[in-house]
Structure 1
Amino acid sequence: MIRVFCVLLILLQSLISFSQRNVKKDFVFPDKIKLDKSAYRLKQNKADSIKYCSNDTVLNGLIDPLHHIDNVGFRFIVRELEMNYSKKKHQTDSVQDAVNTLLQYVKNDSIRDMVYYLKKYIETRKTEEALRKVKKQMELEKVLSYQPELLKPDELDTDDSWKAHALEELFEYVENDSVHQWIREISRDSVLLGVKNYQNDSIKFWINNGKQDFKRFWLKKNKRDSIGIWVQNTKDRSVRILVDDDVYQQSVQKSKMRGTRVKLEEKISSDQYSLAKLGKYKRYSQKWKLGATIGFYFNQGHVSDSWAGGGESSIATISTIDAFANYKNGNHTWDNKLAVKYGLLKSGDNGFRKNEDRIEFETKYGQKAVRKWYYSALFNLKTQAVRGYTYPNNAEKILKSSFFAPAYIIASIGMDYKPSKKLSVLLSPVAAKYTIVRDTGNIDQTAYGVDADKKVKKEVGSYVNVYHKFVFWDEMSVENKLTLYSNYSDKPKNIDVDWEMILVMPINQYISTKLSTHLISDDDTGSKVQFKENLEVGISYRF
């Protein structure tokens, strides 16, 4: 009986061995061998039969967390530091915490993957390009859904109707993802570029804003000359400027502004840059500003001899020169103006007669006192260039004036309020006024307040000089010049008034219309108010 049992046991063992001939023998029992979880994990072998070997497992190796470190010696150092600086219960050490923080950074390869992804995102911007393409496809799908007649019936694929909704869901997920929005913002490391023209109109935009769009802008040389341009920010983080067609450009006068070139970055290697050291910038400003305007204006009217209403033909011409030379350096200013005006009038059969003759020179020095107030000293000279006559009853002409006969000189000191270039108010409590008649033999000096036995009249009083220019409708301007003078010693309440107003209405760059009025009230030249008005149409050129 025992022999039979042994034979059966041997046969059973052979049968079991035959049935398990394909079972791998490299498995271990986890209840007998303990391994570090960070290096290995136990996984059931797919080839094993659970029926015959339910406890058999196969040992599979995991990826080394330090596989990204090529230096094998440094890997060993990291493992040794991790063992020596491992935390123990109820133990606090700042150096130990610092070492563990650095070890976690070295072991965490996901940080490096994130940086690589961010670098690739900024350089290629494939995600942004993909979003734009998907959005364009979604808009096309919407158009096709509302207008199916655009496609032929055999081209319509009703089975793909779910794709439009799926693309929309994918687009919304990526577009609204907080991580993607954060990466998009930090990848726009850019420069805010601003462009400003002559009239201080400006546009601003970021160079690297993820778009390739155009902005319209006007470059204006002066009030009646401009060039239209298009400013585009390109994909390579640069700016391209396109000028309108049919534009004729002239050479630009070299500016006296000087500066220094600024280098923003220095190249260390093929893919490494560093900020360059900036030198001290010194700005050289233009101290002198020079300019002049030359004009030639005329007025003409013709009346034929057969005109029933009667009248006379007339023609009038006026030539003007307005020049300035202004100096500014720190708190010091020096303004110089020269105005020359001369006109002729011919009416009927009479010859040409002078209807305008004026020379005025003014220089004013100022030193800044506080805010918009300046200590100022002014010198003003007014006279005429050629002889002037009166024609009583068209009989004989009587000489009334000539060069420096008369001439008016005002010298004053005071305070000048200059809030802008278009407004100036000079208040002078001490001002000297001189009235000069050079040729007393041919001209009656008493008509200008000078004593009969003298050529010069001296006065001391207060003086006010106001200049204001108002520009409206971008082209038209009104210029007012007002001077007030009061003599302390002789009738101080009788204030001398000299007010000139000029209205300029330009037609184009060279042709303009000008309306000027001149009002004078001076007791020395008579009790009546003097008034003169001119309407001029002509050509002017500004330097």
Structure 2
Amino acid sequence: MKKLILLVFIILANNAFSQTDFSNQDTIPSPWKKSIETGANINQSSFSPNWKGGGVNSIAMGLLLDGRLLYESSKISFDNVLQLQYGMVKNDNAIYRKTTDKIFFDSKLGYRITEKWNAFVSVTFLSQFAQGFKVVKDSLDRESQQLISRFMAPGYLTSSLGMEYKPVDYFWLRFGVGSFRNTFVTDTTLYRSVPQNYGVPIGKKVRNELAFALTANFDKDIAKNLHLYTRYVMFANYENLKAIDSRLDLTLSAKVNRYINVNLTATALYDQDQDYEIQYTQMLSLGLLYRFSEFDPKK
């Protein structure tokens, strides 16, 4: 199946570039559009030893980089999205803890069949940069760290083939009837602290699954200086349709001025290979943000 997806990808890509006329670039708008968003936020607080109001010295920081590159002609679309996020916090003498850590890349090649329907092939990658720890305390209330994740432990590489419904530019649905996911756990000792080992058999480094994948994406300015991005992914293994994985990512950005933004990010995850309960994370931040985009935010 991987070879089939790769072959279709190459054929469609070749067709996309063959349709581009570079001889009239001065008069014909470029079929390529791009955007980039990069930012940083930092929060710090400190107190004198005799500060009667109480408090804990702390410092927190976060970095992000989001990018998108799109090629679009009358029949062919080639859409690429990259999201990199990392944040951490330290309270007084406590151990540094991550607040966010994400590596996400999605590349989709589509062929328009009708005005609202496309055939597509896609490749998606998801992992994290740094080691992740669970903080545990001993009988003397001393903190220590227990390793529960790291780069490519877990890591997810998903190849998908199916149909896409795109009624408007800011919203689309992908129906990946043939989706092949590789789950990687390159640290073969991780099961000692994560018994389920993210679904990968103990002693192995990868698990392969054939499934149906549903992806919904919404990316639009919902008010003046207020932008909403949300992405939902459902993954249903054909061998076990009772254990359906679901992940919802949401980012709400409010623009204060040209370089200052307030961001609310949240993720909800249900995956029985990790936990039988819903996992969630949320972060609110104020920081510097630079954004350049050739996309019309109203479409």
Task: Give your verdict on TM over 0.5.
Answer: yes
1:302 offset after TM fit, Å?
4.3
1:419 to 162, 167, 186: 167
| Contact 2:188–2:203 (8 Å) recurs in 1 | no
Instruction: Give the AA of the match of 1:314.
Output: S
2:199 to 435, 441, 449: 449
| Contact 1:299–1:316 (8 Å) recurs in 2 | yes
1:408 to 156, 175, 188: 156
**Structure 2 residue 141 is matched with structure 1 residue 397:** no
Listed as ranges, the gaps of 5+ residues in structure 2 are 1-23, 293-299
Instruction: Give the AA of the match of 1:258.
Output: D
CA RMSD of aligned residues (A): 2.0
Aligned ranges 1:341-420 → 2 under 5 Å: 341-393=85-137, 394-420=142-168
The match for 1:487 is 237
1:300 offset after TM fit, Å?
3.6
1:527 offset after TM fit, Å?
0.5
The match for 1:10 is none
**Structure 2 residue 59 is matched with structure 1 residue 258:** no
1:413 offset after TM fit, Å?
1.0
| Contact 1:479–1:503 (8 Å) recurs in 2 | yes
Return closer, same or farther for 1:257/1:303 CA change in 2, 3 Å cut-off: farther
TM-score (norm 2): 0.82
The match for 1:464 is 214
Q: 3-state DSSP class of the match of 1:526?
A: coil
The match for 1:336 is 80
1:506 offset after TM fit, Å?
0.7
Aligned ranges 1:195-210 → 2 under 5 Å: none
Higher gyration radius (CA): 1
Distance in 2 of aligned mates of 1:538 and 1:461: 40
Q: Report the more deviating stretch, 514-523 or 383-392.
A: 383-392
Query: CA offsets, 1:27-49, max 9 Å, x none?
Result: xxxxxxxxxxxxxxxxxxxxxxx
Distance in 2 of aligned mates of 1:356 and 1:506: 21
With a CA cutoff of 8 Å and minimum separation of 6, indicate the structure with the bigger relative contact order. Answer: 2
Distance in 2 of aligned mates of 1:518 and 1:307: 37
**Structure 2 residue 245 is matched with structure 1 residue 501:** no
Distance in 2 of aligned mates of 1:417 and 1:305: 60
Q: 3-state DSSP class of the match of 1:258?
A: coil
Count of residue pairs the alignment pairs up = 263
Distance in 2 of aligned mates of 1:355 and 1:517: 11
The match for 2:38 is 294
Query: CA offsets, 1:249-270, max 9 Å, x none?
Result: xxxxxxx9522xxxxxxxxxxx
| Contact 2:136–2:145 (8 Å) recurs in 1 | yes
| Contact 1:401–1:443 (8 Å) recurs in 2 | no
Query: CA offsets, 1:418-445, max 9 Å, x none?
Result: 1222111111222112210112145657
Give the structure with the larger helix fraction. Answer: 1
Identical-pair percentage: 28
Query: CA offsets, 1:463-517, max 9 Å, x none?
Result: 1111112423321111111101111112x13321110111111100110100111
1:306 offset after TM fit, Å?
4.2
| Contact 2:185–2:197 (8 Å) recurs in 1 | no
Return closer, same or farther for 1:503/1:304 CA change in 2, 3 Å cut-off: farther
Distance in 1 of aligned mates of 2:115 and 2:99: 44
| Contact 2:217–2:230 (8 Å) recurs in 1 | yes
TM-score (norm 1): 0.46
Query: CA offsets, 1:235-289, max 9 Å, x none?
Result: xxxxxxxxxxxxxxxxxxxxx9522xxxxxxxxxxxxxxxxxxxxxxxx230222
Distance in 1 of aligned mates of 2:223 and 2:115: 30
Aligned ranges 1:44-443 → 2 under 5 Å: 257-259=25-27, 284-302=28-46, 305-306=49-50, 310-393=54-137, 394-441=142-189
Q: 3-state DSSP class of the match of 1:440?
A: coil
Instruction: Give the AA of the match of 2:181.
Output: K
Return closer, same or farther for 1:374/1:400 CA change in 2, 3 Å cut-off: same
| Contact 1:405–1:443 (8 Å) recurs in 2 | no
Distance in 2 of aligned mates of 1:474 and 1:395: 46
Instruction: Give the AA of the match of 2:179.
Output: A
Distance in 1 of aligned mates of 2:199 and 2:99: 23
| Contact 1:399–1:443 (8 Å) recurs in 2 | no
Distance in 1 of aligned mates of 2:156 and 2:92: 34
1:539 to 288, 296, 299: 288
